Amino acid sequence: MVIDADRCEGHGRCWAGAPEVFEPDDIGNGQVVGDGRVPVELEHRARLAVANCPEHAITIEES
């Protein structure tokens, strides 16, 4: 999971919907918690956050 910092405008939908996966940075833009790996039990919430990002700034990197 990666957030493109250049595209993120800080709407907060990612961290509001999946706070275990995303968090706000110092200026309110989203950032991924930890190393970007999403536990299986949080995948659905992470995908909802991706789908609800108005800038399409979040990318899921499948391993």
**Tens digit of pLDDT at every position of the chain (63 positions):** 999 999 999 999 999 999 999 999 999 999 999 999 999 999 999 999 999 999 999 999 886
Q: Residue 40 half-sphere exposure, CB side, CA atoms within 13 Å?
A: 0
Instruction: Give all domains of the chain, ordered by start, each with its CATH number.
Output: 2-20+29-59 (3.30.70.20)
The answer to whether residues 50 and 58 touch, using CB atoms and an 8 Å cutoff, is: yes
Radius of gyration of the chain (CA): 10
Count of all residues that appear for the chain in the document: 63
- The pLDDT, as a whole number, for residue 62 is 81
List the end-to-end C-alpha distance of the chain, in Å, as a whole number. 10
